[in-house]
Every structure is written in C-alpha cells, then in structure tokens.
Structure 1
C-alpha cells in the first residue's frame, strides 16, 4: 500500500537558521588570542589569514583539507608558478562554506618568492587579501 495525502504545509516547514561565524580575535603581531569576538566579514578575513598561514598536513590538529599545500619541485616558469599558486590558494579557502569564490589574482615576482593578491567573495561581501610565498622553503 502506498501512503497518500501526506503533504508538508508551509507553516510546518522551519527556516534554516543562519548561524553566526563567531571567533576569537587572533593578533598575529603579538601571538595572542583576544577575548573580543569577531563575526561576519572580519571573522572570514581572519580565517583566510589562518588557512594561508598553516601548511597543509603539517599539524595533526587540523583536518586534511585545512591549510595551504605547496611544493616548488618541478616548477619551471612564471606561468606554472602562478597557475599552481592560484590552485593552492583556492583549495585552501574554498572548503570554508562562508567563501563562495576566490578571483582576480595578481602576482608580483620577487627574488625569493611571489607576492599574490586576490579577491575573496563571501556571504558577507568581497575583500582583497594578499599573501607572500617564499620559494626557498
């Protein structure tokens, strides 16, 4: 026998609650974690900084999809370096469900590394971010 007539009315459906993305303030200059809490775009900015500052697979406390993974072995030419950096940054940031896309990459090649800036598109708006990657590591 097949059940019939079971319908969910609009009043029976619950809306999914948007949870805050609260986090403690991390002060990189002083290596301190503050009591104040960040939310929204500021919390995402801090998450981007932490993800790009953490090397993937290096710390057991983080899952295998957290942090940035890079290896310069076998790299030849600026276009390959730029392509791989773009991929590594996107792979580090897109697992965060608050981040919808990472775009507009700009690269500045220096003697010992590459400085890259990019736009992070989030649920709270977009912002520019910059990081440096040392090629001697």
Structure 2
C-alpha cells in the first residue's frame, strides 16, 4: 500500500511555466464605472492604483496580502513615515508577479502632507505613481 499519492503526471522532463494574460476589467476613474477590458501595462497600473488604495487586513473581499497597511503612519514623524512607506509599498506591490520591483523613491513634504513618488517596474514596462500621507 502506497503512502504517497500516485499520479500519472511525468515531471522528469521539467515543468514549463506559461505567462497568463493580465486582462482585467477597466475601471473608469472619472465615471466610477467598469468600461471594457484592459491588458498589459494598463492592467498592472490599474492594479497598483487599487492596491495603494486598499487598507491591508481591513476588507474581507481582498486577500490578506492585498493592499498597504496605512494604519500607524498617520501622525508619525516624517522620517519614519518615509522609510516605513517605502517598505510597506514595496511589500504590497511585489506580491503581484507582474511587478519586478520599485525604484526611484522620492519624498517631499508640504505642510502636514508627505508625498512619495516612485516608479513601479513591471514585466510590461515602468509606470510612475504618487501617494500622499497626512503626517499631522
């Protein structure tokens, strides 16, 4: 009697990984409506926007690794927020296998607002994005 499960799949020749399309629904930001489909860099850019606007661990419709943990940043020292923001954003966005990395982080403060700009490097190219955190 075998202890391990038996399978007819032969893995001795290796496994071939195939990139799946990243096609998704297009969300029109001006109208707040879904209008058609997008693929490639536009789909990843939209996914980045969604991930940056979701509080991690708060909404049950998202997986636990989806979103950024913004809680705990508001009202903190801008230096701490800048370093922690880079770590949290990198952690959140690299969960998507289409994202290869984050680069060119730059920060600026204007009153009580810390603005972070960065480049998201994807398998389809690079896209620039910006987030703001109220540090007061």
- What TM-score does the superposition give when structure 2 sets the normalisation length? 0.81
Which stretches in structure 1 are left out of the alignment for 5+ residues? 1-6
Match of 1:88 in 2: 88
Distance 1:28 1:74 in 2: 29
**For the residues of structure 1 that align with 2:120 and 2:43, how far apart are their CA atoms?**
13
Q: Does 1:58 align with 2:58?
A: yes
| Higher relative contact order, structure no. (Cα contacts within 8 Å, ≥ 6 residues apart) | 2
| 1:108–1:17 CA distance, 2 compared to 1 (3 A) | same
2:7 paired residue number: none
User: Aligned Cα RMSD in Å?
Assistant: 2.2
Structure 1 match to 2:128: 128
The number of equivalent residue pairs is: 126
For the residues of structure 1 that align with 2:74 and 2:126, how far apart are their CA atoms?
A: 33
Q: Which runs of 5+ in 2 are unaligned?
A: 1-10
What's the counterpart of residue 29 of structure 1?
Answer: 30
- Determine whether 1:110 maps to 2:81: no
